[in-house]
A = this chain, B = another copy of it.
Amino acid sequence: MTAAPDSPAAGRAKLADVAKLAGVSVGTASKALNGNGRMRPETRQRVLAAVEQLDFRPNQHAQSLHTGRSWTVGLMTTDGIGRFSTPVLLGAEDALGAGKISVLLCDTRGDAIREQHHLRNLMDRRVDGIIVTGRRTDPRPPLKGIEPIPTVYALSPSTDPDDISVVSDDLSGAQLAVEHLLATGRTRIAHVTGPAHHAAAQDRARHTVELLEHSSLELATGRVHFGEWSEAWGRRAAEAVLRIAPDTDAFFCGNDQIARGVADTLRESGLDVPGKIAIVGYDNWDIMALACRPPLTTIDTNLSEIGRQAALRLLDAIGAQPEPGRHTVPCRLVVRESS
């Protein structure tokens, strides 16, 4: 039982088949498809009809071999695909998919050997570009040995200012939080956040202090409480803050987990949130923010927008219009019941 001559099982149609059916040469068929060259409209129609009839789809390997473009970009993530890189990744995939570009996923697990390995692989595949995303906002050293391949760093900027980076605007985040608290009448604000050696913690803390100074205020406890990005730390820190400054009327927390820890301690201490004390988190991690009692007011970092912009800037760079430097994406305030 052999397949009928024009059955799909007879193997993918190639351009030569299309040409034969349309009664033209391969070259002409190609031109008809791509709109190049000049020919009678009627001829073009014949080719297009043949394409339709045979369900022809060009072989991308042949195309890529000839043009040198693979219509593929590599997406390197250095920390598994965590809570942070995932939205970035999806944003990028979305923006690229619209342009017929596919995403090759590479996870380095934070391992330099693996990173180098993936890099070779991407270069062997002649990817058109690379997006690098990391776990946190701390700057990272640029990829080495990718001379001619356009690259964009998302979330974690490159340490080289001549590279293209797209990052979250921590200043706008701190600003939204502080201004929101001030606008709702809070003046004795405590700041509890992650490890001091994380850029995210450090930057947000600095901005917070400066913004308060701008309004002639200072932190309720006189200092920033650095710790971990965990609920447990939030709980401990809340106790400490209340001991040092019982009149605190707001907590601005470095992330939603800390905020939730704070909320738990306050609730269990019988302190009304938001009646007596307001809480603002950071990240808008829905699972955390919504499960919190009460649901958290928080700062959304627009991660998928960061991914989208990284993709668009990569497209620009591939098109030879790179805009080097560090580009920021503003945050968004999400008001819920904790403030």
Q: Which residues of A contact B (CB under 8 A)?
A: 8-9, 57-62, 64-65, 70, 72, 75, 80-81, 86, 89-90, 93-94, 97, 100, 102-107, 118, 120-121, 123-126, 147, 230-232, 257, 268, 287, 291
A70 to B124, CA, bound (A): 12
The smallest C-beta distance from A61 to any residue of chain B, in angstroms, reads 4
A291–B232 CB distance below 8 A: yes
* Complex Cα gap A122–B60 (Å): 10
**What's the minimum C-beta distance from A320 to chain B, rounded to whole angstroms?**
17
Q: How many identical subunits does the complex contain?
A: 2
Contact yes or no, A124 B90, CB < 8 A? no
**A60 to B124 CA separation, bound complex (whole angstroms):** 6
Query: Once the chains bind, are B81 and A125 in contact (CB under 8 Å)?
Result: no
Query: How far apart are the CA atoms of A60 and B72 in the complex, in Å?
Result: 13
B58 near A124: Cβ-Cβ < 8 Å:
yes
8 A-B contact pairs sorted by A residue (CB < 8 Å): A57-B124, A59-B126, A61-B126, A90-B107, A102-B104, A103-B105, A104-B104, A230-B291
Closest 9 CB pairs of A and B: A61-B65, A61-B64, A231-B291, A105-B105, A103-B105, A81-B86, A60-B125, A57-B124, A61-B61
Q: Which residues of B contact A105 (CB under 8 A)?
A: 75, 89, 93, 102-105
Task: Choose from B62, B72, B100, B257 the contact partner of A291 (Cβ within 8 Å).
Answer: B257
